[in-house]
Structure 1
Amino acid sequence: MTNVVVIGSQWGDEGKGKIVDWLSERADIVVRFQGGHNAGHTLVIDGTSYKLSLLPSGVVRPGKMAVIGNGVVVDPHALIAEIDKLEKQGVKITPENLRIADNATLILSLHRELDGIREDAASTSNSGVKIGTTRRGIGPAYEDKVGRRAIRVMDLADVETLPAKVERLLTHHNALRRGLGEAEISHDSIMQELTSVAERVLPFRDTIWLLLDKQRRRGARILFEGAQGSLLDIDHGTYPFVTSSNTVAGQAAAGSGMGPGALGYVLGITKAYTTRVGEGPFPTELDDEIGQFLGERGREFGTVTGRKRRCGWFDAALVRQSVATNGITGIALTKLDVLDGLDELKICVGYKLDGQDIDHLPASQGQQARVEPVYITLEGWKESTVGARSWADLPAQAIKYVRQVEALIGAPVALLSTSPERDDTILVTDPFED
Structure 2
Amino acid sequence: MPAEARHVIVADLGFGDAGKGTIVDWLAGRSAATGRPVRAVLRFNGGAQAAHTVVRADRRSHTFAQFGAGTFAGVPTLLTRHALVEPLALAREAAALSALGVPDPLDLISVDRGALITTPLHAVVNRAREAARGGGAHGSCGIGVGETVAYALDEPDLALRAGDTESPSRLRRRLLALHEWAATTVRELGDPTSGPLPGVDELIRAYLSFARRIRLTGDGEIARLAAGGRLVFEGAQGVLLDEWRGFHPHTTWSTTTFANALDLLAEAGVDRGDVCRLGVTRTYATRHGAGPFPSEDPSLAPLLPEPHNGTGRWQGAFRVGHLDLVLLRYAAEVCGGLDALAVTHLDTAAGAARERLRVATAWRAGGTRITRLRPGAFADLDHQRRLTALAHAARPEMVLPDRPWDELLADALGVPVAVTSWGPRSGDKQPATVDEITTREDQDRVPVS
| TM-score w.r.t. length of structure 2 | 0.83
CA deviation after TM superposition for structure 1 residue 375, in Å? 2.3
8 A contact 1:348–1:373 mirrored in 2: yes
Paired with 1:197 and 1:356, the residues of 2 have a C-alpha distance of 55
Give the 3 Å change call, closer, same or farther, for CA 182–293 of structure 1 in structure 2.
Answer: closer
**What are the residue-to-residue correspondences of 1:410-425 with 2, within 5 Å?**
410-425=414-429
Which of 124, 127, 149 in structure 2 is aligned with 1:142? 149
Match status 1:268 vs 2:252: no
Choose the corresponding residue for 1:17, options 7, 14, 21.
21
Residues 269-290 of structure 1: CA distance to partner in whole angstroms, max 9, x if unpaired? 11001011100000000032x3
- For residue 164 of structure 2, the aligned residue among 155, 162, 167 is 155
CA contact (8 A) 1:40 1:304 kept: no
Distance in 2 (alpha carbons) for counterparts of 1:214 and 1:107 = 27
Give me the whole-angstrom Cα distance separating, in 1, the residues matched to 2:196 and 2:128: 18
Task: Report Cα offsets for 1:190-242 as digits up to 9, x if no partner.
Answer: 243122232134432322441111222x2421000001111111111111111
Q: Give the conservation status (yes or no) of the 8 Å contact 1:131–1:279.
A: yes
Aligned counterpart for 2:70 among listed residues 58, 63, 66: 58
**What CA distance in whole angstroms lies between the structure 2 residues aligned with 1:2 and 1:143?**
35
Return the letter of the residue paired with 1:433. T
Residue 219 and residue 77 in structure 1: after superposition, are their counterparts in 2 closer, same or farther (change >3 A)? closer
Q: Report how many residues are paired.
A: 406
Shift of 1:253: 3.9
Query: Which of 87, 104, 117 lines up with 2:115 in the alignment?
Result: 104
* Gaps in structure 2 of 5+ consecutive residues: 32-37, 375-383, 441-449
Q: Percent identity?
A: 26
Deviations 1:268-326 (A, max 9, x none): 111001011100000000032x34312x3x54625998965211110111111122222
Asked if structure 2 preserves the Cα contact closer than 8 Å seen for 1:38 and 1:304, the reply is no
Q: Deviations over 1:84-125 (max 9, x none)?
A: 1111222123564321111111111111111111121112xx
Structure 1 partner of 2:138: 131
* Range with bigger deviation, 23-32 or 93-102: 93-102
User: What is the letter of the counterpart of residue 141 of structure 2?
Assistant: T
> Is the contact made by 1:275 and 1:312 (CA closer than 8 Å) also made in structure 2?
yes
Looking at structure 2, the residues matched to 93 and 7 of structure 1 have their Cα atoms a distance apart, in angstroms, of 28
Where structure 1 has 5 or more consecutive residues not aligned to the other structure, the ranges are 380-396
Contact 1:322 1:328 in 2 (8 A): no
Residue of 328, 344, 351 corresponding to 1:334:
344
Change (3 A) 1:355 1:300: farther
Letter in 2 for 1:410: G
Q: Root-mean-square deviation (CA), in Å? A: 2.7
- For the structure 1 residues 188 and 373, does the alpha-carbon distance in structure 2 shift closer, same or farther, using more than 3 Å as the test? closer
Tell me the SS of whatever aligns to 2:332. Answer: helix
Deviates more, 1:343-352 or 1:24-33: 343-352
Q: Is the 8 A contact 1:42 1:49 kept in 2?
A: yes
Question: What residue number does 1:426 align with?
Answer: 430
Distance in 2 (CA, whole Å) between partners of 1:418 and 1:33 is 27
Aligned counterpart in structure 2 of residue 375 of structure 1, from 371, 378, 398: 398
CA distance in 2, matches of 1:300, 1:84: 20
Deviating more after overlay: 268-277 vs 340-349: 340-349
Q: CA deviation at 1:180?
A: 2.1
- 141-150 or 306-315, which deviates more: 306-315
